[in-house]
Amino acid sequence: MNRRYFINLCLAVTVAVTSLATGPAFAAAPVTGPGDTPDYYETPNWANSPPLRKFVDTLPGLNAGAKNNLNQYIPVAIPDTTTYPGSDYYELELGQYTEKMHSDLPPTTLRGYRQTNTADAGVKQFHYLGPLIVAQKDRPVRVKFTNSLGTGTAGDLFLPVDTTIMGSGEFEIDYDPATKSPTGMVTGVFAQ
């Protein structure tokens, strides 16, 4: 058997075997028509969300005078200049609330911030971005954050917590964070 005959025989066997195979060797491309939602992964991957109209809501502006059509705005924090003279002082509180994020969707649960050391109603409501702090060059800024989320199951996040991320899993501490005094070893799990 010469070399040319052997190569032709191998080629013929390869063609014969591949022509007998059933079905395509690769998955078919997703079929989409005009106006269809593309299905790039051949399975629904948008978590059963309804199609949303785009760009129907305006962007929120700064302060209550620049609300968008969903009644949202970005508040500007009001500095307290008397508590710590020579600096701007803010007290911000973290809390959970509901807010409508799109005209076609119901309100959703969020966690956001609000300013608590002022009587101004424009910064007293929780916002998902929190109040905007305007800092000036060469002027110190002090911020006190208060966590007003519930404790135990009342403070559990409505989404699952990934405990593999630093600061969200097990902990060991041997001092009181409030007083900085040494205590016995305390262990637990950050679930919130």
* Dihedrals phi, psi of 97, to nearest 5 degrees: -155, 175
Spatial separation of the C-alpha atoms in residues 26 and 101, rounded to whole Å? 41
Is the per-residue pLDDT at 137 higher than 80? yes
Q: Classify 3-149 by CATH class.
A: mainly beta
Q: How far is CA 97 from the centre of its chain?
A: 15
Which residues is 89 bridged to in the sheet?
Answer: 80, 142
**Percent of the chain having pLDDT more than 70?**
80
23-48 pLDDT, tens digit per residue, is 555 556 656 666 666 655 566 556 66
Give 43-93 pLDDT, tens digit per residue: 655 666 667 888 999 999 998 899 999 999 999 999 999 999 999 999 999
Whether 95 and 115 have beta carbons less than 8 Å apart is answered as no
Q: Which residue has the tokens 């509180």?
A: 93
Q: What is the mean pLDDT of residues 133-151?
A: 93
Determine the 3-state secondary structure of 65 from DSSP. Answer: helix
- Taking the model in full, what pTM does it have? 0.61
Residues 6+ apart with CB under 8 A from 72: 60, 99, 127
Mean pLDDT (the chain, rounded): 82
Where in the chain are the domains? 3-149, 154-192
